[in-house]
Structure 1
């Protein structure tokens, strides 16, 4: 799988057109055609099948300009309705709904040259050093979330794997912008550490969804039947997951 980041500069813009956003390209073995995904943070991802000629992408995006603009405006409107706490740059707590845990984040300014993060008390994290460096603080918190997710999601996935009798080869934890999880043709499952912010029922659904891809590497009728077999509330979960990014604080992707 390859991924590149490009800027759209191939089209001259008319006076009334705004520039299209930067985009990422992801090659997917499951893709049969080009598809566009826009995250709740406004990140545009172009999913292409293997061997696709990427020089064709700018013209595709230009043809989809109306959809892209409409979607970005809708997301901006949704983000405007979120509480102020959602957009803070340096959080004072982490609400990990999947675990029913709330972690306090404490900031202590010291003369150290770099910021360091430690667990100071049960469900309390302390950042020490030049804490005015918000970027460094957020990066440390993201790293902690990724480690936390690896510890929590590994046994969770294993338990569901055994319950559903669906085997996978390995698990990785990443911080994808537009995907909660993925499964490769080698039955390797990648999960997003942002799942920690979701309700546990939605995490169950995402994990079962990816486990079912070890049998069906597509979204065919047979795939959805298998998902429903292990997750009967499939329709409600699909609806709820569309709003899942509302649970993830904006600083996580800042």
Structure 2
């Protein structure tokens, strides 16, 4: 069954941030929101995928020193790693590479076939666990997700709770045309796999090109229709529980 993104929830902090920076759709002050001290310690989480350059460039002009967390799962396309290094150099990013626990990988995925047997566990070991560990030093993290990317993200809020963290989705309301225009206006490099039809790019074993008429994320876990997210986004009522830690 397809899982739809839940409402963003609310609490006193979120209500105050919305009142000040997002009172209605005609008055959206994302730059002011990202500079608000109420966010505490912030980090951007980026996959360095097909549209990542836009978020990274946008954020770098608002907070040049903000840390950028990259989940190096060990299963990325080589093109993604090359593209990551290119953007880090061109945009002057403060890159922090986050890797999975090698002990867990050796125990649970020694033959690197877990993605085909249990993709949810593979994502948990290679993405969810490492990210939650890395986020322990932050109060807020910033995501590049957008409503137009898939039907399951159509209600994505700009501000939400992600477990105990605040999460900001600065481009939730952007359109595909906005993204294309931003790439062109700022002459940003494109991910080399995009020209081959890869419009949402994750780990190599679980990503295929998108065909005509499909949404942008149709190429992710295409053989597992019930899986639409990698699991790093906990949601406003999310709980991160890991036994044995």
Q: TM over 0.5, yes or no?
A: no
Higher relative contact order by CA 8 Å / sep ≥ 6: 1 or 2? 2
Q: What's the TM-score once normalised by structure 1's chain length? A: 0.25
* Greater radius of gyration (CA): 1
TM-score, with length taken from structure 2: 0.26
Whichever structure has more helix as a proportion of its residues is: 1
Structure in which a larger fraction of residues adopt strand = 1
